Amino acid sequence: MRARTVGRSGPSHVTCPVCGYAFRASHVGTYVTIGRESDFCPKIPGRPSDGARLIRNGITMCPACSFAAGEDFGGLYLSFDERYDVEVRLEEDGLLRVFRSNSPPWLAFHAAEICGKARGARSRDLGDLCLRASWVCRKERERPFESTFQLRAVRHFIRSLQDENLVGRELSVTAYLVGELNRRLGNHREALNWYVNAGRTTEGDPRVAWLDRLIDKQKKLAEEQAA
Ligand SMILES: [Zn+2]
């Protein structure tokens, strides 16, 4: 397996666009991956909890008000209404209330999902946040939370497939992920339907031949598991 380096570099001092708190954000830096799992979770050398932390660092979260986003805070502008909506949603959220003090690594993705909704993010992007949260939970062996985030990712991805006119690679990958996450959740029949849907979207496109192979492999696995 070929090792790859992924990541972004950014300023480590940021100001929260919602509450104005200035803080030092955890530096994302770069990290090496040695391939990906079948739901695209990066395999990172070293302890799984270190990998979870590296994935978690893709999100910046304000320690004062919990505003969170995958983008650099420096480039963010929120309208008055968006800011108000973010504040209300963060304040009313039950999981944040319970987990804010010990801040498990998945919490940043949960907060980013809440803030993304308030800012009118695409369902595709909300699904991606939940997917990444599920990777972090798996690396942290938080099985019930992993399933919760997989289910939320599936719902966002299905809404995206219905409403957001996805095309090309994004369409194929999203349909595949609905299948793969359903398989991981134990819904094998549902998974098989979605692998078929995903396969229909890739037909004849050599650029996604790798995805066709992955779909075939996971379809066989789901068939065995469904039997
Ligand atoms: Zn803040």
Ligand 1 centroid vs 88 CA: distance in angstroms? 13
Domain boundaries, the chain: 4-122
Could you tell me the distance, in angstroms and rounded to a whole number, from the CA of residue 149 to the centre of ligand 1?
Answer: 24
For the ranges 24-33, 38-47, 50-59, 67-76, the lowest mean pLDDT is seen at: 24-33
CA of 37 to the centre of ligand 1 (A): 34
Which distant-in-sequence residues (6+ apart) come within 8 Å of 122 by Cβ? 160, 164
What separation in Å is there between the alpha carbon of 169 and the centre of ligand 1?
A: 35
- The CA distances from residue 226 to 47, 147, 187, in Å, are 32, 19, 8
Please state, rounded to an integer, the average pLDDT across all residues of the chain. 92
Residue-wise pLDDT for 110-124, tens only, equals: 999 999 999 999 999
Q: What is the pLDDT of residue 203?
A: 81
155 pLDDT above the threshold of 90: yes
CA 15 – ligand 1 centroid, Å: 8
The pLDDT of residue 8 is above 90: no
- pLDDT, average across residues 9-20: 81
Q: What is the pTM of this model?
A: 0.92
Distance CA(135)–CA(106), nearest Å, equals: 9
CB atoms within 10 A of CB 126: 22
pLDDT of residue 1: 44
3-state class percentages of the chain: helix first, strand second, coil last, to nearest 5: 60, 10, 30
Average pLDDT over residues 172-193: 97
Q: Tell me how many degrees the CA angle 98-113-211 measures, rounded to the nearest 5.
A: 125
pLDDT of 35: 94
